[in-house]
Amino acid sequence: MNIAQLFRDYFVKNGIGLGTFLLVAVLFWVVILIILPQLSMLDFSFRHHLPPPEMGGPKDTYTIEHYKYLVLGAPGADTSYNVVDLGVFGRTLLAAFFVTILDLILCYPLAYYLGQSKGGGFIRLLVLLLIIPYWINEILRAFAFRIIFGDSGLINEVMLTMGLISDPIDFIRANVALYAGLGYAYILLMIFPIYNVIESLDRNQIEAARDMGASWWRIHWRVVIPYAKPGISSGCTMVFMLSAGALAAPQILGGPSSLWFTQIIYQWFNTGGNWPRGAAFAVVLLVACIVIVLGMMRLFKVKIGDIGK
């Protein structure tokens, strides 16, 4: 089917007015709000850090010094590599991967129950209870987690009262609060894609597997998970990308030694005032996340079209 036929079918299905509005809205969202800012950021990352009066002048040429700084560090440094920034970069990606796996483990059973349960009213109540906490601002939720996991917070007070510990546990320094806050912040983005796919799974397939003597884990491994793979991939992609690019939660819930790569980017843009270097670091983070996501999709044999269903 050629492009002309696709557009013809699209306008026949949606009408001229609604179809045109949807196309304009999508193009505005993709081109104006995503592609052009990213291209501008990419161009900025190859520029010298110059005072405003010199921008656009003869000194405003292209360079790769900011990317070299991320890898090699400042000229004349004691080490041959920028161990600080590269270490933070690696820890950020590893932590985002951990948060993604944590959310998947927590959300898959719940999504399966919501998708396969027959209790309509009760299920709608559960979904509503999941959504209501997200009416609160993300920053307020992060501060709430800091209070809960603090030295005199709810968790420590309960454990002290029950005699489980003798001294408060520093959940902030141990990054427990950070991982819990990040996992909670994006948990709905993992639940609903999986739920939407599992809801359409024919229950007769599960019953047939049970009748043939398949165990619980084998039913999920051979029937449910392969069917839900597009939803799982979609949820994991969104949680990983947002966790790696998070800023508010690491700023509020992170311990003294839990620097996030986005915090370094923020410092270059604001405190350091070096926008080209901040842009270079941001581009590296974006490219790394895209490469990791595409690599995982290839590893698990998931196509982009499957995620978009």
Model confidence pLDDT, tens digit, residues 66-115: 999 999 887 766 677 888 899 999 999 999 999 999 999 999 999 998 88
Ramachandran category for residue 183: left, alpha or beta (phi over 0 → left; psi -120 to 50 → alpha): alpha
183 neighbors 102 (Cβ within 8 angstroms): yes
User: What is the per-residue pLDDT for 53?
Assistant: 83
190/206 Cα distance (integer angstroms): 23
255/171 Cα distance (integer angstroms): 9
The matching CATH number, chosen from 1.10.10.10, 3.30.420.40, 3.30.70.3270, 1.10.3720.10, for 66-72+80-134+185-307 is: 1.10.3720.10
Percentage of the residues of the chain whose pLDDT score is greater than 90? 47
Q: 246: closest CA among 178, 168, 189?
A: 178
91 C-beta neighbours (distance < 10 Å), count:
16
Mean pLDDT, residues 268-280? 90
User: What is the per-residue pLDDT for 260?
Assistant: 92
User: What is the per-residue pLDDT for 78?
Assistant: 66
C-alpha 94 chain-centroid distance:
12
130 C-beta neighbours (distance < 10 Å), count:
16
Q: 194: closest CA among 135, 107, 264?
A: 107
194 neighbors 113 (Cβ within 8 angstroms): no
pLDDT in tens, 243-267: 999 998 999 998 777 889 999 999 9
What's the mean pLDDT when you consider all of the chain? 88
DSSP tally for the chain: helices H, then strands E? 17, 0
Which is more confidently placed, 131 or 92? 92
- pTM, to two decimals: 0.88
User: What is the per-residue pLDDT for 120?
Assistant: 67
Query: Which amino acid belongs to residue 156?
Result: N
